[in-house]
Amino acid sequence: MSTGFRIIKNCCTGGARTGKVFTSHGPVSTPVFAPVGSQATVKTLATLDLERIGTDMILANTYHLYLRPGVEVIEKLGGLHKFMSWPHAILTDSGGYQIFSMEGLRRVDDSGVVFRSHIDGSQHRITPQSAIKYQESLGADIIMVLDECPSPVGKFDFIKRSMERTHLWAEICLDSKKDSDQALFAITQGGLYPELRRRSARVLTSMGFDGYAIGGLSLGEPKQLTMNMVELTVPLLPEEKPRYLMGVGSPEDIIKGVERGIDIFDSALPTQVARRGALFTRRGRINIRNAAYRNVAGPVDSECSCYTCQNYSAGYLHHLLRCREMLGYRLATIHNLSFMQGLMRDIRDAICDGTFNAFRDSFFACYKTSDEAVRISQRKKWRQSRKRRDMNRS
Amino acid sequence: MSTGFRIIKNCCTGGARTGKVFTSHGPVSTPVFAPVGSQATVKTLATLDLERIGTDMILANTYHLYLRPGVEVIEKLGGLHKFMSWPHAILTDSGGYQIFSMEGLRRVDDSGVVFRSHIDGSQHRITPQSAIKYQESLGADIIMVLDECPSPVGKFDFIKRSMERTHLWAEICLDSKKDSDQALFAITQGGLYPELRRRSARVLTSMGFDGYAIGGLSLGEPKQLTMNMVELTVPLLPEEKPRYLMGVGSPEDIIKGVERGIDIFDSALPTQVARRGALFTRRGRINIRNAAYRNVAGPVDSECSCYTCQNYSAGYLHHLLRCREMLGYRLATIHNLSFMQGLMRDIRDAICDGTFNAFRDSFFACYKTSDEAVRISQRKKWRQSRKRRDMNRS
């Protein structure tokens, strides 16, 4: 495979490291945050927007693209890079997370999983073999094994059986994969059980993948537990392979993940909250829809050099989001992703300079994180609204 | 006033002419098409997008901005140009069209009109004096008198009374206007009655405005009648002043308007239909949502040099619009507005070169226009859905 990984610098205290993942669509500097483009578009943004923000890699969802427009359509149109006019690195997930996070009919056994489309309720079947085949057709630079992704608060026996199935599927995925320029990453599971997390890391690393992800976390469990699982998994992963913490993407969690040795992050959070008006600043999140911003002539963040802050006032953004104008969603997304890319650059620079710990401390001294209780209740509400939507659709 | 008009060339046969409107935000080459940015944003586009497309002038709606965010907010934030970060020319309508095209409670007398907000049902009153005051606060380069804009199919006596009120209001607007860099245009009315149309042109031109609009047309009447009214009005307008046909914006109607001596056009049509997937090409409109485009690897229009056609396939646009992805709406809007700007450039060049008639003929030989019956039925459906929306909101 042409995808490789080189560590440039390790932090002398703690696990943080900076490096480069090499792909046939260019190198990706790590730690990296990959914005989510589920339907072959990072919502509201064009290629040029993403490039201006300094994006090296994005994530696309096999589940969504399989349903619409169909993997065969994208293959006919020259693969995912050409389809979405994105010449840089792409990572695709296998579909596991989406299938297992949806409500409604779903049947899983060792050979694969039968699920219903959230669009029209039609029935589909995905297997470890087909998950690899689809991702090969899409042609992403990094592809993922099919995993069973249960709620982390499940009972021990359930999580154990599910983890063992993930291991079985990982082996099938590895065997199914053709020689190609694509890197295949395994996904460690095990819920919130340290014993299972450790076993998953040991079993999967023994198979020899191009990289290792930590999956099944950041699904509503307390953040301290997420980080505990990361802490005990990372030391069991090979140092010379990239480590990917799936679905983690708040600024504070990324810094904590980097500190514990994570190289790759993805999350829809920065783009999703942007569309609701929540914008990142060095002092924490603000909500631009609040009446306080109505008359603000200055930018959202005076220290920010993004297109939004350089050209538009906070008052104008407030107006656009209050009016549900699409430009508002785009300008907010540009701002949040610029913040994320700036954060990742600062993190990499700090690791290179040997000042990561000081950077982390000064970040947290300034950045007001969301209250844990508020966060969990908001997430619950959001998941319930998603459930209602999925049920109405099917 | 610093806004002036210079004719560069008259067509030797027919009324077409090319020129320049000078504003304190730069010159505008005519014939010009102004995209509509009702809420201080041409839907989905940022300043940079509009500039790349070659946009000289946009239209914003006083009615919408008065309601949200409020004229005083925009004034505080430095005026409309600064608010929306648009350094080029802006034209604002007075609000008349919106107020009179909305369903629901509305009371009009010679002093002004009381209406209800489509957002929250709150009651407001606008007068000719306040329409000018608001437009002065917004600071557009070209502002419009408050007019009563009745349905063109109204009875003679009703249309006559309404026209006389428009004349009365026009005089009050002229008197209310402070000395400034803003140009004030009058709006001729008179429904589909030639006698009233002629009288309106005579009365208003005798008052001495900076330019003259033809209003109250393109509201569902057969297109031939629209053009008949234009044909009989234009000869009565002063040659040295710009002529503006309000609400007209399909490619075919613009060419017909130019032929009859119109300099300025505005319409939400190109942006509105774009968001429904209707894209302009030299051969007519296509609907990119049709299944036929699913697998098309080439651009929407191989002769088009817009950002969309240069970077994305028709198949990708089809996918985005089917999935209701916001990027799709933006790419479609960029394409349609690029088409319109290209058309206006071609029109101006042809007039300059003395080849306008040949250009018009070759355009119509190639461009398949929408069937009149289909067009009217579609417009009726659209207006009904708007009525339902307005009623649900209030």
Nearest chain B Cα distance for residue A257, angstroms = 31
Q: Catalytic residue positions of B? A: 93, 266
Q: Give just the sign of the alpha carbon dihedral A373, A379, A383, A385.
A: positive
pLDDT at B382 over 80: no
Question: What's the predicted TM-score (pTM) here?
Answer: 0.95
Q: Which residues of A touch B326 (CB under 8 A)?
A: 43-44, 326, 329-330
Instruction: Give the Å distances, CA to CA, from B390 to B100, B218, B380, B386.
Output: 13, 21, 15, 6
**Are the beta carbons of B73 and A325 separated by less than 8 Å?**
no
Q: What is the largest CA-CA distance in chain B?
A: 60
Q: Which residues of B touch A53 (CB under 8 A)?
A: none
- Banded model confidence at residue B1, pLDDT cuts 50, 70, 90: very low
- Banded model confidence at residue B22, pLDDT cuts 50, 70, 90: very high
Instruction: Give the Å distances, CA to CA, from B281 to B262, B320, B331, B366.
Output: 23, 19, 15, 10
What does pLDDT average to over chain A? 94
pLDDT digits (tens, 9 = 90+) for A8-50: 999 988 899 999 999 999 999 999 999 999 999 999 999 999 9
**Are the beta carbons of B77 and A315 separated by less than 8 Å?**
yes
Q: Which residues of B touch A328 (CB under 8 A)?
A: 41
The size of chain A, in residues, is: 394
Q: Which residue in chain B has the smallest CA separation from A275? A: B326
Mean pLDDT of the A64-74 span: 97
Q: Which site among B83, B275, B323 would you substitute to test the A interface, given the most A Cβ atoms closer than 10 Å to its Cβ?
A: B323
pLDDT at B388 over 80: no
The order of strands in the sheet holding A4-10 is A4-10, A17-23, A26-30
Predicted confidence at residue B394, as pLDDT, reads: 44
Angle, in degrees to the nearest 10, between helices B156-176 and B194-205: 10
Angle at B144 between CA B375 and CA B264, to 5 degrees: 55
- Name the percent of chain A lying above pLDDT 90: 86
Cβ contacts below 8 Å, chain A against chain B, sum to 112
Instruction: Give the Å distances, CA to CA, from A254 to A227, A266, B281.
Output: 10, 10, 47
ipTM of the complex: 0.95
What does pLDDT average to over chain B? 94
pLDDT digits (tens, 9 = 90+) for A227-255: 999 999 999 999 999 999 999 999 999 99
Rounded Cα distance, A129 and A222, in Å: 34
- Higher-pLDDT residue of A388 and A216 is A216
Predicted confidence at residue B380, as pLDDT, reads: 76
Please indicate if any CB of chain B lies within 8 Å of the CB of A318: yes
Residue type, B167: H
Q: Which site among A271, A323, A333 would you substitute to test the B interface, given the most B Cβ atoms closer than 10 Å to its Cβ?
A: A323
- Name the percent of chain A lying above pLDDT 70: 96
- Banded model confidence at residue A394, pLDDT cuts 50, 70, 90: very low
CB B168 within 8 A of CB B110: yes
Please indicate if any CB of chain A lies within 8 Å of the CB of B87: no
CB B33 within 8 A of CB B56: no
Q: In the numeric block, which tokens belong to residue A175?
A: 């065997």
Q: Which residues of B touch A68 (CB under 8 A)?
A: 319, 322-323
Number of alpha carbons in the 13 Å side-chain half-sphere of residue B135 = 37
Q: Which residue in chain B has the smallest CA separation from A291? A: B69
